[in-house]
Amino acid sequence: MRAMYRADGQTRMEADEARSSGRSFPPPVCSVHFFSAVVRPPRVPFLPMSKPRILTGDTPTSTGLHLGHFVGSLENRLRLQDEYDCYFLIANVHAFTTLADKPADIRANTIGIVKDWLAVGLDPDRSTFVLQSEVPAIAELTFLFAMLLPFNKVMRNPTLKTEIETKGLGDSYPFGFPMYAVGQCADILAFRPELVPVGEDQEAHIEMCRDVALKFNQMYCGVGNRVEPRDHVKSGGLFPIPAAKIGRVARLVGIDGKNKMSKSLGNAIFLYDDAKTVQKKINKITTGRQSPTEPGDPGNILMQYVDAFIGNHDAARAAEIKRRYAAGDNIGDGHVKAELGEAINAMLEPMRVRRAKMEEPGGESIVLDVIKRGLKKGNAVAEETLHLAKQAMKLDFGARMLG
Ligand code: ATP
Ligand code: MG
């Protein structure tokens, strides 16, 4: 007897039944015929998509997250937690691209990042925290997607080029370093999200990810070349073409005043810094201005921080500071730094309170538990995507048989 299966492993009858009972299903990307008695594709855990999805994440390359992460991506995550089905990924495998000789650091950093997420207010009951190394489907998708990206295009990716330069990687970086750009496409597409909240530095990566999704849908799901990105799923594509959602500060400059604030460049104010450390770091900022009556540059690093951390809650005060600063109207850098330190510390204070519980003995087990909880749902979604992708690529030989 011949049965018609949807790409998600359900018979048409099952799908019809479910539809009439009001449950929704992943898109019927490609119909595949099987002899039911012989080969039945695995029953992928069915995951209703009641809300559009978000995927974003952080790499554990340092002990914690910084103000750049907050304004570039975390604020958007917090805002969108209810509206979207959110997946937040800790890219711990990608941390090995620059820290392969420091596995203990990567582990500790991973715990640190989850603590930051919890301290900031990301909620594992509403969102799914996913640890990359425990989601094998991501690694498999990385290899498959690597065929859809021209090598030279990856190497021309401006974000990669900047990282090679600013991190001083020279020409001795491992093969895995540029490969993380392909891996990031898999990180994202494994969850088939519509939106990816990131800072501006990630735009080139998201563009590459969009290219992969477009190409996959066209090559393997029969979506026409002229179909608009927003209509890809409607036209049978497996992947929505994800859009970057840039934060309210697209690229926060570091306290060195040169590079973007970055956890690997020693120019960051961390979310876990105590009040004294925050003020000390701000005091280190140099603008070259000599006196309170010297007209200052309204676009310099201090003024950018005033916009970001005073302007966000008191626009009038920020405008006043900037006006007086530009005019040299008796306002010193020292005064601005003190006011700025106060504003940043006020913003970080509730995070410090939430973090305190995790710093007590046994705090790590809170984090490990959150990671464990996220893996179940994270793996279910990623496995479902891998299964659908393999069906579309004619890698449709039934269930995996390991051992
Ligand atoms: P690394 O130096 O290891 O690359 P990073 O500080 O750049 O670390 P990532 O983990 O690469 O941090 O970035 C995580 C997210 O935070 C990304 O979405 C990125 O765009 C955003 N982000 C990082 N730094 C900034 C910044 N200075 N301004 C705005 N967004 C940022
Ligand atoms: Mg980065």
CATH of the domain at 307: 1.10.240.10
124 and 238 housed in the same domain:
yes
Contact status, residue 44 vs residue 387, Cβ threshold 8 Å: yes
In whole angstroms, what is the distance from residue 378 CA to residue 189 CA?
12
CA of 262 to the centre of ligand 1 (A): 6
CATH number at residue 103: 3.40.50.620
Atom of ligand 1 nearest to the CA of 74: 16
Ligand closest to the CA atom of residue 106: 1
Pocket of ligand 1, candidates 56, 69, 309: which has the most ligand atoms within 8 Å of its Cβ, to mutate?
69
Residue with CA nearest ligand 1 atom 24: 68
Q: Do 213 and 113 have their domain in common?
A: yes
Whether residues 26 and 78 fall in one domain: no
Maximum separation of any 2 CA atoms in the chain, in Å: 88
Nearest alpha carbon, ligand 1 atom 13: 58
Does 170 reside within a domain? yes
State how far the Cα of 261 lies from the Cα of 250, in Å rounded to an integer: 11
Distance 199 CA to ligand 1 centre (A): 7
Note whether residue 264 is domain-resident. Answer: no
Q: For residue 71, give the ligand 1 atom closest to its CA.
A: 29
Residue 245 sits in the same domain as residue 220:
yes
Residue 229 and residue 159 share a domain: yes
Give the residue from 253, 263, 233 showing the smallest Cα distance to 301: 253
Q: Verify that 109 and 13 share a domain, yes or no.
A: no
Same domain, 242 and 113: yes
**Domain finish residue from 15, 30, 46:** 46
Residue 215: inside a domain = yes
Pocket lining: 116 vs ligand 1, CB cutoff 6 Å: no
In sequence order, the β-bridge partners of residue 128 are: 87
Question: Ligand 1: which residue has its CA nearest to atom 21?
Answer: 199
132 CB under 6 A from ligand 1? no
d(CA 91, CA 197): 15
110 lines ligand 1 (CB under 6 A): no
Same domain, 308 and 205: no
Asked whether residue 397 is domain-assigned, the answer is no
> What is the helix, strand, coil percentage profile of the chain, to 5?
50, 10, 40
Closest by alpha carbon to 263, among 18, 68, 131? 68
Query: What does the pLDDT read at residue 47?
Result: 66
Location of structure tokens 């855990």: 45
Classify residue 7: in a domain, yes or no: yes
> End of a domain among 321, 338, 359?
359
Q: Looking at the structure, do residues 123 and 93 belong to the same domain, yes or no?
A: yes
| SS3 state of residue 81 | coil
CA 257 / ligand 1 centre spacing (Å): 16
Per-residue pLDDT 10s for the chain (403 aa) are 333 333 343 434 344 444 444 334 444 444 333 333 333 344 444 567 789 999 999 999 999 999 999 999 999 999 999 999 999 999 999 999 999 999 999 999 999 999 999 999 999 999 999 999 999 999 999 999 999 999 999 999 998 998 898 888 888 899 999 999 999 999 999 999 999 999 998 999 999 999 999 999 999 999 999 999 999 999 999 999 999 999 999 999 999 999 999 987 889 999 999 999 999 999 999 999 999 999 999 999 999 999 999 999 999 999 999 999 999 999 999 999 999 999 999 999 999 999 998 888 888 999 999 999 999 999 999 999 999 999 999 998 877 777 6
Q: Is the CB of 199 under 6 A from ligand 1?
A: yes
Residue 396 in domain: no
- 173 found inside a domain: yes
> What DSSP letter does each residue of 309-359 carry, written as one string?
HTTTT-HHHHHHHHHHHHHT-S--HHHHHHHHHHHHHHHHHHHHHHHHHHH
Amino acid at position 15, single letter: A
DSSP helix/strand/coil, 362 = coil
CA of 246 to the centre of ligand 1 (A): 12
Closest ligand relative to 91 C-alpha = 1
- Please indicate, yes or no, whether residues 64 and 30 belong to a single structural domain of this protein: no
317 & 175 share domain: no
Residue nearest to atom 5 of ligand 1 (CA): 262
Domain that residue 133 falls in: 53-252+362-388
- One domain, residues 291 and 203: no
Is 398 inside any structural domain? no
Domain count for the chain: 3
Buried b (16+ CB within 10 A) or exposed e, 211-226: bbbbbbbbebbebeee
